[in-house]
Amino acid sequence: MFYSEGIRAVSVDAIAEKAGITKKTIYYHFKSKDDVVAAYLTSRDQPNLALYKKWFDAAEGDLADKVEAVFSNLAQSARHPKWNGCGFLRTAAELANMPGHPAMKVGAEHKKKFEAWLGDEFEERELQASRELARHIVLLMDGAFSTVLVHRDPDYITSAGRAAHAMVATAT
């Protein structure tokens, strides 16, 4: 519900109704709606990272091809009618004026984990400035996510993937 409708649009009453439980039960397990939102993002952290790693590992070709494959698969996902972009970025946009919100911390940690994983992949292959390159790829990805939400055109993710490919190819 948070992903499809937005954090602020979804009430605890709506969550309870959808889950078939009482509001009291939700508050038994969570101190606040903020904690429910943080739990939602936490539940998406590892599955998202695992999916990126799966796409990367399954891709044929060199390192640049593997990085581009992550973008290509994201572009394919973005073509699904229920795709609404990156849940972590959407949450950050809704809660931008609340930097201490628990969900903001979860989102920041998720983005840092992706960047660290990519940096590790680059370091294993002895790329120079591997951490900086990983950061550039993250910027391309997040920029592509945002642009697709504005234009509703997944080809922006494909273009970002080609740019990422070029950056990695140059670094290798």
- Burial class of residue 37 (count of CB atoms within 10 Å of its CB; 0-12, 13-18, 19+): buried
| Residue 147, domain member (yes or no) | yes
Classify residue 15: in a domain, yes or no. Answer: no
Please give the tally of structural domains in the chain. 1
Average pLDDT on 7-24 reads 94
Residue 128, pLDDT above cutoff 90: no
Q: For residue range 66-125, what is the model confidence (pLDDT) as tens digits?
A: 999 999 999 999 999 989 989 999 999 999 999 999 999 999 999 999 999 999 999 999
Residue 45 in any domain: the answer is yes
Say what the pTM is.
Answer: 0.89
Domain that holds residue 64: 32-171
Three-state DSSP state, 76:
helix
Q: The domain spanning residue 90 has which CATH number?
A: 1.10.357.10
- Average pLDDT in the chain: 95
